[in-house]
Amino acid sequence: MIPACPLADLPRGEAFRLEIDPPVSVFHTEDGELFAIDDTCTHQDASLADGWVEGCWVECPLHASKFNLKTGAVDAPPAKRPVRTHEVLVEDGMIYVRLSAATPNLPPCVATKLAGVLA
Amino acid sequence: MTSTSLPDSLIATLPGTSYTDPAIFAQEQECIFETMWFCVARSSELTKPGAFRTVDVGRESILVTRARDNSIRAYFNVCRHRGARLCTEAAGEVKRAFQCPYHAWTYGLDGKLVAAPNLTKMPDVGRTEYGLTPVATREWLGYVWVCLAENPPSFEEDVIGEVVTRLGDAEAIERYGMESLSVGSRITYDVKANWKLIIENFMECYHCATIHPELTEVLPEFADGFAAQYYVGHGAEFGEEVQGFTVDGSAGLDRIPGVAEDQDRRYYAITVKPQVFINLVPDHVIFHRMYPVAVDRTIVECDWLYMPHVVDSGRDVSRSVELFDRVNRQDFDACERTQPGMSSRMYAKGGVLVPSEHHIGAFHDWVHERLGTHQSQ
């Protein structure tokens, strides 16, 4: 279990980004539910924590694909693959995340490949 | 009389090149429109957060919008990344953010950089530092003014001060409650003339009896050629038989309650340099903004403002609108007729102003002062 942040520091409608590799974000919905998903959009490197939460969906701030916070499913292109979902627990006012064992669906990292070629 | 001296009755205008030279227009953009307060929109056009308008101010495109807290914001309409124009539409609405169509740099309504591809891998890129570059804004009379200067001049002196100079005090215009009036009509004119010809036209009434038969019928004193702008605090009185400020002198709409007794049945005109003209009559306000787009082309946007219930109930404002719409068309036709003459060899040294136009000389001095050029005479 990885500690994220105190529940009191995460108001409804906001997200907390865990700086792990790959990053994971915890969302506190307007309805008061907590969800954790991979923070990176599966289409292009963008932080979903910077996106917009509506109900139990988060909209990517770059190209408007929406991810379901409960299931990780994506609603429409340009993103095509789901994000992973992670288990969230609250103990003594602290939010914890238990990471999924599945393989993440990360966007193609052109920059890394290019760096390899140019190095 | 030598060729350079004028009879006492006449003073010189600006030379013809002042109205035709693109280099002079570029200087005016820099030293006038990009440094002074410039009116860009009616506040009520920006109906809710995310509603926006783009307006050219001098050589810059400016994005005017309303943030989540309902405050008016204005930014340079230029992406901080590679300089693409952020919004190309003249007006519209975004839900949450402005996104550059080139690399998807995304800015909140407060201007902050919200997202960009790979942004999380660049934690040293400040979201405010690389947010949209803000421009100073003010709201007055229900209109939004912006100023592109790094240190904007005093709005109180430059904008409100112009009204005080004309009417004697700011209260005189505030009695019309313009911020709570509704737009009953808006007409946009595309005028093929230099902006200064339009200002000069608004400042004098020597032409009134010749080209404005309807206006002179409603305001008989205009026939003597002295504009309402000639005397401080003076409003031209409606003719005896005239019931209202309409194209045929028939009754107008409901009087604005704040209008004082001594303002009733009178017409006031104010020029707020460099691009606003305001006309006040008891039942409505006519508000013009000029957007100079080239040395020989100016867009003029004109609003007719009435009491909200007059507009909401669909009352017929057409005779009221038609009076000044005709006046505008008559004036802009005259300006367009004048523009070609500005490049005539005969007009190289300019023309002359008669006594009832001499106050236009002060406008010319002001232009010289702003551009840091010497007076021609």
- For residue B182, give the DSSP letter: E
Q: What percent of chain B has pLDDT over 90?
A: 89
**From the CA of B306, how many Å to the nearest CA of chain A?**
40
- Mean pLDDT across the stretch B71-86? 97
- For residue A40, give the DSSP letter: B
Q: With 50 as the cut, is the pLDDT of residue B314 above it? A: yes
A111 contact residues in B (CB cutoff 8 A): 118, 121
pLDDT tens digits, one per residue of B90-145: 999 999 999 999 999 999 999 999 999 999 889 999 999 999 999 999 999 999 99
| Residue B361, token pair as written in the block | 């000389």
**What is the per-residue pLDDT for B233?**
80
Lowest-pLDDT range of A78-92, A96-110, B71-85: A96-110
Contact B121 A45 (CB under 8 A): yes
**What is the per-residue pLDDT for B229?**
57
The third-level CATH classification (topology) of the domain covering B156-371 is Naphthalene 1,2-dioxygenase Alpha Subunit; Chain A, domain 1 (3.90.380)
Q: Does B116 touch chain A (CB under 8 A)?
A: yes
pLDDT tens digits, one per residue of B297-308: 999 999 999 999
pLDDT tens digits, one per residue of B242-286: 999 999 999 999 999 999 988 999 999 999 999 999 999 999 999
Per domain, the residue ranges of chain B are 37-152, 156-371
Lowest-pLDDT range of B188-192, B212-216, B337-341: B212-216
**What is the per-residue pLDDT for B377?**
47
Structural domain harbouring A33: 2-118
Phi, psi of B69 (to 5 degrees): -85, 10
Q: With 90 as the cut, is the pLDDT of residue A114 above it? A: no
Indicate which of A14, A42, A47, A54 best probes the interface with B, i.e. most B CBs within 10 Å of its own CB.
Answer: A47
Name the CA radius of gyration of chain B, rounded.
Answer: 22
pLDDT tens digits, one per residue of B44-55: 999 999 999 999
* CA nearest neighbour of B207 among B189, B188, B226: B226
Q: With 60 as the cut, is the pLDDT of residue A119 above it? A: no
**What is the per-residue pLDDT for B131?**
97
A71: domain CATH number? Answer: 2.102.10.10
Alpha-carbon span B290 to B300, nearest angstrom: 4
* Confidence grade of residue B156 (pLDDT, cut at 50, 70, 90): very high
Report whether B184 contacts B304 (CB < 8 A).
yes
Q: With 90 as the cut, is the pLDDT of residue B321 above it? A: yes
Contact A45 B120 (CB under 8 A): yes
Indicate which of A39, A62, A63 best probes the interface with B, i.e. most B CBs within 10 Å of its own CB.
Answer: A62
**What is the per-residue pLDDT for B4?**
64
Q: Does B123 touch chain A (CB under 8 A)?
A: no
* Confidence grade of residue B227 (pLDDT, cut at 50, 70, 90): low
pLDDT tens digits, one per residue of B325-337: 999 999 999 999 9
Contact A46 B96 (CB under 8 A): no
Q: With 80 as the cut, is the pLDDT of residue A115 above it? A: no
Alpha-carbon span A75 to B32, nearest angstrom: 51
A62 contact residues in B (CB cutoff 8 A): 99, 104, 106, 115-117
**From the CA of B273, how many Å to the nearest CA of chain A?**
42
Q: With 70 as the cut, is the pLDDT of residue A111 above it? A: no
The CATH number fitting domain B37-152, selected from 3.40.50.300, 2.102.10.10, 3.40.50.1820, 3.20.20.70: 2.102.10.10
- Mean pLDDT across the stretch B298-320? 97
Report whether A3 contacts A96 (CB < 8 A).
yes
**What is the per-residue pLDDT for A86?**
96
In this complex, which of B97, B118, B121 lies closest to A61 when CB atoms are compared?
Answer: B97
In this complex, which of A23, A39, A50 lies closest to B114 when CB atoms are compared?
Answer: A50
Contact A47 B115 (CB under 8 A): yes
Report whether B269 contacts B278 (CB < 8 A).
yes
Lowest-pLDDT range of A104-113, B126-135, B231-240, B272-281: A104-113
- With an 8 Å Cβ cutoff, the interface of chain A facing chain B consists of 17, 23, 39-40, 44-47, 50-52, 61-63, 111
How many helices, marked H, and strands, marked E, lie in chain B? 10, 18
B104 contact residues in A (CB cutoff 8 A): 62-63
**What is the per-residue pLDDT for A75?**
93
Contact A62 B115 (CB under 8 A): yes
Q: Does B96 touch chain A (CB under 8 A)?
A: yes
Total number of domains in chain A: 1
- The maximal CA–CA distance of chain B, rounded, in angstroms, is 78
**Average model confidence (pLDDT) for chain B?**
94
B106 contact residues in A (CB cutoff 8 A): 61-62
Nearest CA in chain B to A44: B117
Nearest CA in chain A to B112: A50
Q: Which residues contact residue B160 at a Cβ distance below 8 angstroms, ignoring those fewer than 6 apart?
A: B140, B170
pLDDT tens digits, one per residue of B13-32: 999 999 999 999 999 999 99
- Mean pLDDT across the stretch B331-360? 96
- For residue B176, give the DSSP letter: T
* CA nearest neighbour of A44 among A68, A79, A19: A79
Count of A–B CB contacts within 8 Å?
35
**Average model confidence (pLDDT) for chain A?**
89
Alpha-carbon span B157 to B36, nearest angstrom: 11
* Confidence grade of residue A102 (pLDDT, cut at 50, 70, 90): confident
* Confidence grade of residue B230 (pLDDT, cut at 50, 70, 90): low
* Confidence grade of residue B373 (pLDDT, cut at 50, 70, 90): confident
Nearest CA in chain A to B114: A50
Nearest CA in chain B to A46: B117
